[in-house]
């Protein structure tokens, strides 16, 4: 029996020590938390002393009585502290508690110094009586604590009352028996270790439920669930072992065989229970209902919701993940998802572990959507069928109410607008739906609606970008065609006047050939055959000379200046490069009066080829250069401009590794500087 006592007191000491560590790391200095911390530390030491006494008889009897007195004072001080705080909050007198404190201190003094108060032959009786008095005082304090706590708040202290009330009641029985029969029952004495051990989880639960004690004690539901499962499995296997031992002893010749068969069957049953979804669901409900103040661990629920909706752990499509995420909150295994828009009716977009319903051509969801817009409630189909008056004028179509396994309908609301709803099937085990389930589902539905809205926005943006790319390509094509038409129109306009001029005829053929080449290149670009064409090494001076010569028929005539003996080779498309520089020169001419000047300079700066187009035209301000100059489809030329020329110039120069710098002042002119890496320096 002493071995059992040693084991019980040792486990109690370990558990009280762990609880003390948890309380110590989360204590914020409040009196109630400090008193409980002291009491648990004293209880840990008390249990350790009793374990040493039971197992090895190392502790003197006087030390044991001192430990008893200190433990009694610590727990009673904690209870008196709670009651005094409650009394002060209600402006009540605390004289009763002060009187009770004196009684407890005197009873404890009798345990420690009995010779001071009574004759030696009555010492044991006095000590037993002191313990009885302290136990009665402790039970009175527990009773007062429970009685003076509001009924709606008793869930927070009921396990504390169970634990400490049971401990004091056991001490009362133990020492009343000792006082009556003049000796301590050794079985009851060693059983105190087990009693102390059983009070620890009850105290921990109460500490977790009372933040006013300044104890941010957090007991993870996952840890509680797994601990409970392992503990239950251990108890189950222990019972099965006893049963197997009984079968072996009394089974005769078949005993050993029956024992092995029985234990194998017990293990199979245990494995089946551990992997049973219904059993797990029932265990979670039991733990959440009896060990925690709230049904959900909101941190875990929210993290799981985000993981599912964001697809961190699964490649399931988003629509099915929404059903999955909302169903996990209430252990629902399946459901349906409808999405609604202003342009179209609600459409069934996903289903999970649930067959598609037969809705017909008209799903008749207008009443449901109007109810969601007005109330934003989660609809409980059981409640709707039994108490339809709670849902006012809501009229669900028959195909919804007739669906097998139907349970909840959760609205998906984004920006106060219903974008859809989720239909959830019944869970593995019965769940009583209350405000906590409904609030969490509504909040999770809003989060899911945000993900769905973002998903639809990304789809619309992708589609818009595709159209934007097509429109931009069309604009560039039209821009090139416009330039070709301008060249051919000029030829047609001068044909009547210069048809007999051989030089004009030669220029006409060159212009037509150039137009054909450009159109052929444009067609190749549209078909994608020219997109991957490699750039070639070209003489930039020759390209700029050609572009300048092509624009010499318009005033002001551009003047070309090239550094002496300069040969600049760059990697680029020759035809595209000539068109780009021609466009910049053309813009300079358009912005400059006929009496003004346009100058083109070609030079080099270290490893860069530099082309400057300088005009004395109207100029631009900094805001226009920064905000509008290179913006596509923004033109200052009215209906004659496409607004893509400057943008195309910059993009082409960037594609060959260069850059464009613009310096301009209103009324003074503009300088376009194009810097391109020389061919030998390109990696």
User: What digits encode the pLDDT tens for the residues 637-668?
Assistant: 543 444 457 877 888 898 898 999 999 999 89
Pick 88 or 50 by higher pLDDT: 50
Q: Please say whether the beta carbons of 677 and 607 come within 8 A.
A: yes
Q: Residue range 174-184: average pLDDT?
A: 86
Residue 217 has pLDDT above 50, yes or no: no
Taking residue 85's Cβ as centre, other Cβ atoms within 10 Å add up to: 15
Closest among 263, 79, 262, 47 to 160, alpha carbons compared: 79
Q: Determine the Cα–Cα distance for residues 232 and 386; give it in Å rounded to an integer.
A: 39
User: What digits encode the pLDDT tens for the residues 293-312?
Assistant: 456 777 788 888 998 999 88
Angle between helices 31-56 and 186-208 (to 10 degrees): 150
Q: Counting every residue, how long is the chain?
A: 683
β pairing state of 608-615 and 569-572: unpaired
Rounded to the nearest 5 percent, the helix, strand and coil shares of the chain are: 65, 10, 25
The residue whose two tokens read 């001192």 is: 66
Q: Determine the Cα–Cα distance for residues 676 and 656; give it in Å rounded to an integer.
A: 7
- Provide the 8-state DSSP code for 253: G
User: What digits encode the pLDDT tens for the residues 514-532?
Assistant: 777 777 766 766 655 444 4
Residue 167 has pLDDT above 50, yes or no: yes
Across all residues in the chain, what is the average pLDDT? 80
Q: What is the pLDDT of residue 221?
A: 52
Kindly indicate the confidence band of residue 576, based on its pLDDT and cuts at 50, 70 and 90.
confident
Lowest mean pLDDT among 124-128, 165-169, 634-638: 634-638
Kindly indicate the confidence band of residue 286, based on its pLDDT and cuts at 50, 70 and 90.
low
Q: What is the pLDDT of residue 223?
A: 53
Q: Determine the Cα–Cα distance for residues 194 and 470; give it in Å rounded to an integer.
A: 80
Residue 281 has pLDDT above 70, yes or no: no
Q: Please say whether the beta carbons of 164 and 39 come within 8 A.
A: no
Q: What is the pLDDT of residue 23?
A: 82
Q: Please say whether the beta carbons of 219 and 205 come within 8 A.
A: yes
Task: Please report, rounded to a whole number, the percentage of residues in the chain having pLDDT higher than 90.
Answer: 25
Q: What is the pLDDT of residue 670?
A: 93
Residue 58 to residues 50, 51, 365, 568, Cα–Cα distance (Å): 10, 10, 80, 101
Kindly indicate the confidence band of residue 580, based on its pLDDT and cuts at 50, 70 and 90.
confident
Alpha helices in 1-94 (DSSP H): 2-26, 31-56, 61-89
Q: Please say whether the beta carbons of 380 and 351 come within 8 A.
A: no
Q: Determine the Cα–Cα distance for residues 480 and 498; give it in Å rounded to an integer.
A: 27
Q: What is the pLDDT of residue 640?
A: 42
User: What digits encode the pLDDT tens for the residues 328-351?
Assistant: 998 898 999 999 987 667 889 999
3-state secondary structure of 612: strand
Residue 116 has pLDDT above 60, yes or no: no
Task: Tell me which of 3.30.450.40, 3.90.700.10, 3.40.50.1110, 3.30.2130.10 is the CATH number of domain 298-450.
Answer: 3.30.450.40
Q: Please say whether the beta carbons of 653 and 580 come within 8 A.
A: yes
Lowest mean pLDDT among 13-27, 184-198, 641-655, 665-679: 641-655
Distance of CA 70 to the CA centre of its chain: 48
Instruction: Label each residue of 187-222 as H, E or C.
Output: HHHHHHHHHHHHHHHHHHHHHHCCHHHCECCCCCHH
E strands within 355-495? 379-380, 406-414, 417-425
Closest among 134, 147, 126 to 103, alpha carbons compared: 134
Q: Determine the Cα–Cα distance for residues 201 and 195; give it in Å rounded to an integer.
A: 12
Instruction: Please provide the DSSP assignment of 123-167 as one string.
Output: HHHHHHHHHHHHHHHHHHHHHHHHHTS-GGGGGGTHHHHHHHHHH
Task: Please report, rounded to a whole number, the percentage of residues in the chain having pLDDT higher than 70.
Answer: 78
Q: What is the pLDDT of residue 219?
A: 47
Residue 429 has pLDDT above 80, yes or no: no
Q: What is the pLDDT of residue 45?
A: 94
Q: What is the pLDDT of residue 476?
A: 57
CATH no. of 534-681:
3.30.565.10
Q: What is the pLDDT of residue 659?
A: 92
Q: Residue range 619-631: average pLDDT?
A: 83
Query: Alpha-carbon torsion 673, 679, 680, 683, what sign?
Result: positive
Domain residue ranges in the chain:
2-218, 224-291, 298-450, 534-681
* Six token digits for residue 477: 């094509």
Q: What is the pLDDT of residue 109?
A: 85
**Cis peptide, bond prior to residue 361, ω within 30 of zero:** no
Give bridge partners of residue 569 from the DSSP assignment.
539
Q: Determine the Cα–Cα distance for residues 624 and 364; give it in Å rounded to an integer.
A: 55
Burial of 215: CB neighbours in 10 Å, binned 0-12, 13-18, 19+: buried
Q: Determine the Cα–Cα distance for residues 190 and 197; give it in Å rounded to an integer.
A: 12
Buried b / exposed e along 428-461 (16+ C-beta atoms within 10 A): eeebeeeeebbebbbebbbbbbbbbbeeeeeeee
Q: Model pTM greater than 0.75?
A: no
Kindly indicate the confidence band of residue 212, based on its pLDDT and cuts at 50, 70 and 90.
low
Instruction: Please provide the DSSP assignment of 75-90 as one string.
Output: HHHHHHHHHHHHHHHT
3-state secondary structure of 61: helix
């Amino acid at each position: 029996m002493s071995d059992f006592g040693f084991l019980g007191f040792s486990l109690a000491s370990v558990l009280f020590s762990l609880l003390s560590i948890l309380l110590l790391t989360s204590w914020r200095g409040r009196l109630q938390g400090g008193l409980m911390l002291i009491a648990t530390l004293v209880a840990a030491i008390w249990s350790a002393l009793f374990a040493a006494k039971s197992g090895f008889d190392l502790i003197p009897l006087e030390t044991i009585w001192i430990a008893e007195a200190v433990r009694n004072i610590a727990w009673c001080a904690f209870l008196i502290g709670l009651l005094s705080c409650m009394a002060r909050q209600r402006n009540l007198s605390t004289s009763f508690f002060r009187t009770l404190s004196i009684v407890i201190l005197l009873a404890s003094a009798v345990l420690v110094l009995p010779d001071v108060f009574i004759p030696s032959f009555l010492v044991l009786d006095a000590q037993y009586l002191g313990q009885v008095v302290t136990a009665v005082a402790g039970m009175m304090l527990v009773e007062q604590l429970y009685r003076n706590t509001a009924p709606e708040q008793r869930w927070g202290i009921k396990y504390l009352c169970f634990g400490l009330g049971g401990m004091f009641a056991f001490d009362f029985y133990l020492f009343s028996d000792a006082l009556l029969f003049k000796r301590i029952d050794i079985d009851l004495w060693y059983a105190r270790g087990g009693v102390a051990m059983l009070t620890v989880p009850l105290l921990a639960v109460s500490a977790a439920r009372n933040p006013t004690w300044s104890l941010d004690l957090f007991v993870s539901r996952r840890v509680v669930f797994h601990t409970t499962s392992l503990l239950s499995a251990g108890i189950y296997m222990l019972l099965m072992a006893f049963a197997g031992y009984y079968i072996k002893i009394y089974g005769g010749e078949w005993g050993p065989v029956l024992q092995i068969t029985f234990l194998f069957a017990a293990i199979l049953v245990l494995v089946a229970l551990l992997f049973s979804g219904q059993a797990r669901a029932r265990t979670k409900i039991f733990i959440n209902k009896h060990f925690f103040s709230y049904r959900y661990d909101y941190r875990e629920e929210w993290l799981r919701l985000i993981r599912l909706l964001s697809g961190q752990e699964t490649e399931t499509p988003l629509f099915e993940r929404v059903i999955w995420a909302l169903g996990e909150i209430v252990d629902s295994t399946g459901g349906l998802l409808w999405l609604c828009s202003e342009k179209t009716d609600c459409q069934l977009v996903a289903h999970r572990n649930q067959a598609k319903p037969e809705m017909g051509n008209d799903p008749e969801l207008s009443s449901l959507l109007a109810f969601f817009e007005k109330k934003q409630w989660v609809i409980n189909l059981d409640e709707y069928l039994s108490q339809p008056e709670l849902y006012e004028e809501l009229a669900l179509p028959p195909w919804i109410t007739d669906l097998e396994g139907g349970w909840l309908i959760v609205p998906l609301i984004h920006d106060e607008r219903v974008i859809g709803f989720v239909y959830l099937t019944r869970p593995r085990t019965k769940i009583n739906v209350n405000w906590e389930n409904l609030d969490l589902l509504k909040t999770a539905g809003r989060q899911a609606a945000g993900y769905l809205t973002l998903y639809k926005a990304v789809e619309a943006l992708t589609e818009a970008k595709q159209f934007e790319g097509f429109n931009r390509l069309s604009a560039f094509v039209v821009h090139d065609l416009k330039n070709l038409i301008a060249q051919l129109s000029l030829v047609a306009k001068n044909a009547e006047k210069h048809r007999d001029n051989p030089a004009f005829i030669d220029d006409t053929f060159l212009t037509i050939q150039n137009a054909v080449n450009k159109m052929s290149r444009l067609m190749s670009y549209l078909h994608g055959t020219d997109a991957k064409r490699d750039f070639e090494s070209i003489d930039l001076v020759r390209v700029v000379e050609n572009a300048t010569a092509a624009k010499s028929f318009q005033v002001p005539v551009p003047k070309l200046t090239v550094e002496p003996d300069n040969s600049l080779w760059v990697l680029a498309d020759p035809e595209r490069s000539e068109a780009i520089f021609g466009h910049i020169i053309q813009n300079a001419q358009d912005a400059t009066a006929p009496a003004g000047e346009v100058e083109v300079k070609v030079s080099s700066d270290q490893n860069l080829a530099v082309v400057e187009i300088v005009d004395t035209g109207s100029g631009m301000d900094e805001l226009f250069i920064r905000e509008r100059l290179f913006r596509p489809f923004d033109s200052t030329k009215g209906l004659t401009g496409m607004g893509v020329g400057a943008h195309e110039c910059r993009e082409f120069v960037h594609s060959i590794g260069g850059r464009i710098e613009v310096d301009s002042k209103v009324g003074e002119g503009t300088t376009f500087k194009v810097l391109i890496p020389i061919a030998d320096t390109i990696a």
